[in-house]
Each structure stands twice: as structure tokens, then as C-alpha cells.
Structure 1
């Protein structure tokens, strides 16, 4: 088995991003706010504009697309910070290091952009996701928000976890 590679997609790669994004919405609809029916009907201009708003990362092995993630702005009140979002790994590639490769690449992209913190929103009831993020050095903040995806349990929350990208990282390895 060969290594996983992760690359940033450019605007010209919009069809590759669209294909993986629609796969994500088809395979894991519960994980996303967007709906497959809405996004699959969007025109090329929509996808090209989306490529410009954030850095889109594609994980591959031997030319086969295995996962995606995005790195973008947190918001006006978090200047110098970025957020990792839209993380998806094809079901058959889960547990093979694809998600870890995407998180490391996302941290590198944010660092190259001069960001000092990387945010990642995780469901407070999703112990596996919290443990995964913690393994990279993400730490929970006091910031919470209602889950943005439709869930069976009213009142579910997400917590912002943050990763320092510079300075003392508490012994955590580099990206």
C-alpha cells in the first residue's frame, strides 16, 4: 500500500472537489448541514466560487480520492485564526490514516497562511472525535454552539477545540 498524499485544490479542480463533496453528503448526510439534493443541482459557477472562499484539501492514494477537508476563516472576531471543517473520509478508507493526514495538512496550510490558532468544532457527545482531535493537540475551549446538523436529540452541542500553531505546543509533534 502506498502513502497518502494531500494536496490543495485550485479553482480549476472544482469538479474533483464537487465529486468528493457530493460523495460526503451521500455517504454521511448526518454529518453536514448541507443537503445532497441542494448541492448536486448547483452550477459550475457555485463550485468555482466555493473553491475561492477556502482552501480545499484532497487526500489521495495512488490517484484515488479518499477524503477532503477545508481550511477557512473563523470569523471577524478571530483574526489570525483559521478553522478546519468539512472533514470527510470515504467509508472504505476510514481507519487508514486519511483523516490524520488531512488534519496535519490543514494545520500546515493554516500555518503557511500566518494563522496562530486552528479551530475544529466537535460534537460534545462524540467522544471518538474529541479523542481524535486531542491526539493532535487540540484542546477544548469554553465556546459552544448548538449542533448545526439535524439530530435526533434536541439540545446537542458542538464545542470549539483549538490548536496552537506556533509557540509552545506542549510537546506535541510538528505537522
Structure 2
């Protein structure tokens, strides 16, 4: 198997992000709040604005996108010291092969470079594989919960915020 590389997309690479994002929405519609039809209708200006709002990382093998991850600032952190991972997706045939690990490690490195002291990742409480993955990456559960933002088979399913301390600061910002 060829090596997996991860790169940070610039604003002018919005078409690359759009392509992999739409693939993710089409392949795993249950994993996202948005739908492929909604985002397919976005114009160039909207895609460029998204590229400016958060960092978009893409995993590639032989020049083809095989995964994607977004890194932003945690919405409840007014000081910008906490980052947030979201929109993680890997092609089904490569799940469990280390692509997600490479994306998350690169996302954590980017957050560290930005001066963020911790990274949040919301995971479905019923998604044992995702919780185990995040725990294995060093994320620890917090007491923060919220209703799932995506369609679920079971009413009442919720997400848990997991946090990864970055650097020497092991405190959790905002009492999380």
C-alpha cells in the first residue's frame, strides 16, 4: 500500500475540500448534520468562507483523497485557547488502517502551532469504536454532553466532549 500523506488545504484549494466533503456526505450521510444535496448547492464564495473559518486537512494516497478532518476553535472558548476537531471521515476501505490517526495527529500539531492548549472532539456516546479511537489518541472524557446533531436510530442519543491536552497545560478550559 502506498504511503498516506496529510496536507493542510489553503483557501484556493476549496474544490479539493468540496470534492472529499461531498464524497463523505454521500458515503456516510448518517454521520453528518448536513446533507450532500445541501452542500452541493453551495457556491464558490460559501466554500471559500468555510476554508477561512476552519483549517481543512486532507489525507491522500497516490494523489487521491482518502480522508478529511477540520480543525477550528471550540465555540465556547472566547480566548481561542481550545481547538476542536470535527468532520472526520475516512474512506470505508481504509478505516482502521491509520488514516484517522494521521489526520488527528496532524490536527493536534496544527492546534499546537496556533497556540491552543487543548483540543476537543465530540463523539457519540453509543459509538464505541469512536470513543475507543479517541481514548487511544489520548483524549479523555469530560462531563459535557449534548444531544446528537445527526439522525440516530435511537432517540435521546448524545455526544460526549473528549479533550486532548496539548503541551504542558493540563488544565481544562472553561471548567470542562
The alignment's TM-score, normalised by the length of structure 1, stands at: 0.93
2:117/2:169 contact within 8 Å kept = no
Instruction: State the partner residue of 2:89.
Output: 88
Give the Cα–Cα distance (whole angstroms) in 1 for the partners of residues 96 and 164 of structure 2. Answer: 22
1:75 CA drift (Å): 1.7
Give the Cα–Cα distance (whole angstroms) in 1 for the partners of residues 90 and 148 of structure 2. Answer: 20
Secondary structure, counterpart of 1:2 in structure 2: coil
Give the Cα–Cα distance (whole angstroms) in 1 for the partners of residues 98 and 45 of structure 2. Answer: 33
Give the Cα–Cα distance (whole angstroms) in 2 for the partners of residues 71 and 78 of structure 1. Answer: 16
The C-alpha deviation readout for 1:70-93, integer Å capped at 9, x for no partner, is 000112435300000000001122
The C-alpha deviation readout for 1:11-48, integer Å capped at 9, x for no partner, is 01000000000000000000000011110011111101
Q: Where does structure 2 lack aligned partners over 5 or more consecutive residues?
A: 171-176
Say yes or no: does 1:15 pair with 2:15.
yes
1:2 CA drift (Å): 2.6
Instruction: State the partner residue of 1:173.
Output: none
Paired residue total? 169
Give the Cα–Cα distance (whole angstroms) in 2 for the partners of residues 46 and 91 of structure 1. Answer: 28
1:148 CA drift (Å): 0.5
Say yes or no: does 1:152 pair with 2:153.
yes
Secondary structure, counterpart of 1:77 in structure 2: coil
The alignment's TM-score, normalised by the length of structure 2, stands at: 0.92
Instruction: State the partner residue of 1:56.
Output: 56
Give the Cα–Cα distance (whole angstroms) in 2 for the partners of residues 127 and 76 of structure 1. Answer: 26
Secondary structure, counterpart of 2:159 in structure 1: strand
Instruction: State the partner residue of 1:172.
Output: none
2:24/2:89 contact within 8 Å kept = yes
Instruction: State the partner residue of 2:127.
Output: 126
Give the Cα–Cα distance (whole angstroms) in 2 for the partners of residues 122 and 143 of structure 1. Answer: 11
